[in-house]
């Protein structure tokens, strides 16, 4: 009996230890998600464009929005937001131009004219060119936002979300960027990656 009790206590301790490994503070959770080495951020280079695509589960999105409150020990808004977006799968697509800034005035004028076209495309039509594939099922975006940084930062960001995608298998995000004419930009996440991510928890009160 004593042996069994000892074994149970050891098992419980190990379980607690494992759980604490998977529970992270808001800032360390965000750092973990944004670290390319952990496999949730992947980069594709196509010509002079670089696409950095990050998988963003609801916990990450809510954490990004309310991490200051969470650090102060207030988690009401975080929990509410998490409940709102639960079941969704988000992706953050950062578009960055690799080439140097245009040198001549003519080039700058041409680029300014194209900027309007660029914003029009990414705000209105790009969502139709993004899809999520899981097995034979294709999901279309349920939410889509294009964050134009007006040239203040070297990249613009697309936030795209898919409602209730089945995540029992590998998932693949496909983006056919018609503005930069970069077709078939694919990013895949394996089932094991998704499973290990679902075990990660944000430490709240």
| Distance in Å, CB of 47 to other proteins, minimum | 4
| Distance in Å, CB of 199 to other proteins, minimum | 20
Instruction: Please select the residue that binds other proteins; options are 30, 44, 119, 159, rule is CB under 8 A.
Output: 44
135 binds other proteins (CB under 8 A): no
Instruction: Please select the residue that binds other proteins; options are 35, 47, 115, 135, rule is CB under 8 A.
Output: 47
3-state secondary structure of 170: coil
* Binding region for other proteins (CB under 8 A) out of 27-35, 36-44, 108-116, 124-132: 36-44
Compare residues 45 and 203 and give the one whose CB is closer to other proteins.
45
188 binds other proteins (CB under 8 A): yes
CB burial of 95-120 (b: ≥16 within 10 Å; e: otherwise) equals bbeeeeeeeeeeeeeeeeeeeeebee
Instruction: Kindly report the backbone phi and psi dihedral angles of residue 194, in degrees, each rounded to the nearest multiple of 5, phi listed first.
Output: -70, -40
3-state secondary structure of 193: helix
Residues with Cβ within 8 Å of residue 116, at least 6 apart in sequence: none
| Distance in Å, CB of 61 to other proteins, minimum | 21
Q: What is the C-alpha separation between 57 and 32, in angstroms, rounded?
A: 12
- Which residues bind to other proteins, rule: CB under 8 A? 39, 42-47, 53, 172, 181-184, 186-190
């Amino acid at each position: 009996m004593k042996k069994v009790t000892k074994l149970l206590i050891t098992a419980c301790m190990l379980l607690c230890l494992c759980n604490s490994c998977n529970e992270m503070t808001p800032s360390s959770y965000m750092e973990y998600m944004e670290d390319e080495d952990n496999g949730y951020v992947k980069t594709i280079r196509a010509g002079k464009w670089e696409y950095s695509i990050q998988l963003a589960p609801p916990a990450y999105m809510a954490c990004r929005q309310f991490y200051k409150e969470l650090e102060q020990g207030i988690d009401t808004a975080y929990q509410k937001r998490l409940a709102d977006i639960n079941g969704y799968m988000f992706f953050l697509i950062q578009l960055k131009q690799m080439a140097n800034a245009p040198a001549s005035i003519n080039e700058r004028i041409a680029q300014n004219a194209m900027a309007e076209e660029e914003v029009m495309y990414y705000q209105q039509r790009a969502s139709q060119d993004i899809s999520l594939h899981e097995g034979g099922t294709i999901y279309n975006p349920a939410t889509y936002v294009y964050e134009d940084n007006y040239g203040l930062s070297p990249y613009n960001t697309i936030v795209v979300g898919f409602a209730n995608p089945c995540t029992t298998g590998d998932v693949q995000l496909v983006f056919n960027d018609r503005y930069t004419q970069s077709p078939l930009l694919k990013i895949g996440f394996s089932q094991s990656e998704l499973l290990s991510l679902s075990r990660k928890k944000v430490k709240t009160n």
